[in-house]
Amino acid sequence: MINYTPVPTLDLGFFKLSTHGLLIAVGFLVAELLARREAKRRGLSADMVDDAAIAAVLAGLVGARLFYIATLGQGMSFLDMIEVWKGGLSSHGGYVFGILAGLAYFKFKKVDLFKYVDAVIPYVLIGWAVGRVGCFLNWDSYGQISNVAWAVIVNGQPRHPTQLYEAVGYLVSFFLVSSKYARSEILVNFRSGSKAAASLALFALVRIIVDFFRDDPAPYLFMSRLITVSLFILCMAFIFWPVKTKKL
């Protein structure tokens, strides 16, 4: 077992800076820069990727706050609800609203939606992995009490380091969808957009598995599983749904 002292949150009075928030921002920036580079390599508009990323992060912040209030905000006053700078965001609302905003932006611009999401979405897995490392450093979203050899001891309690489980799972997922084998033998045989769908399906699968080890309130876990299972089913249905061919 590993004894660990979390990195403290820096209280600036009007603002609290945590490793969680900082690395979420870093992860977003890394993912956006990598997606931008991939878009340029594919002959797509990097500026459009930038704009979609801005829309996604703004919508994601709203969604993350709303989901937190809906699942963990019992007893919060209206003032508490709008004081986002004091913390209280949920990743599920963030990625659902963020993805929808990005899709809506590309659709509004009337570009080839699936070409863009295939270029962008896989790199979001890297961003999520970096953010979860920040979660671990700040010791947020931790796991259940456990006596496994790799348990992390904080405040005298050994727990599953579920934040690191997620980070590793997302990185493995990225390499699976980005591997030479997947590009040449698997996803290439499916419709455009399948790489993005596979990335989201793997993301959902990782979260479904990790949720069994997390120490979260029952209402939160219920909503988490409902969203991730639904996302997994939708993505797999998109990948394997028969492609209509035009009759000659």
Q: Are 164 and 198 in contact (CB under 8 A)?
A: no
Task: State the Cα–Cα distance between residues 184 and 193, nearest whole angstrom.
Answer: 15
Q: Tell me, what DSSP letter sits at residue 13?
A: S
**Residue 246 has what pLDDT?**
47
**Residue 36 has what pLDDT?**
93
* Residue 91 zone, left/alpha/beta (φ > 0; ψ -120 to 50; rest): alpha
Q: What is the pLDDT along the chain (248 residues), one digit of tens a residue?
A: 888 888 877 766 666 777 877 888 899 999 999 999 999 999 999 999 999 999 998 998 888 888 878 776 677 766 666 666 566 677 777 888 888 999 999 999 999 989 999 999 999 999 999 999 999 998 888 899 999 999 999 988 999 999 999 999 999 999 999 886 665 555 656 678 889 999 999 999 999 999 999 998 888 888 889 999 999 999 999 988 866 654 44
Tell me the whole-structure pTM to 2 decimals. Answer: 0.86
**Residue 64 has what pLDDT?**
81
Nearest to 228 by CA among 135, 139, 128, 130: 128
| Residues found in the chain | 248
Task: State the Cα–Cα distance between residues 69 and 95, nearest whole angstrom.
Answer: 16
Q: Are 99 and 91 in contact (CB under 8 A)?
A: no
Q: Are 92 and 227 in contact (CB under 8 A)?
A: yes
**Residue 248 has what pLDDT?**
42
**Residue 184 has what pLDDT?**
56
Q: Tell me, what DSSP letter sits at residue 187?
A: G
Q: Phi first, then psi: give them for residue 10, nearest 5 degrees.
A: -85, 115
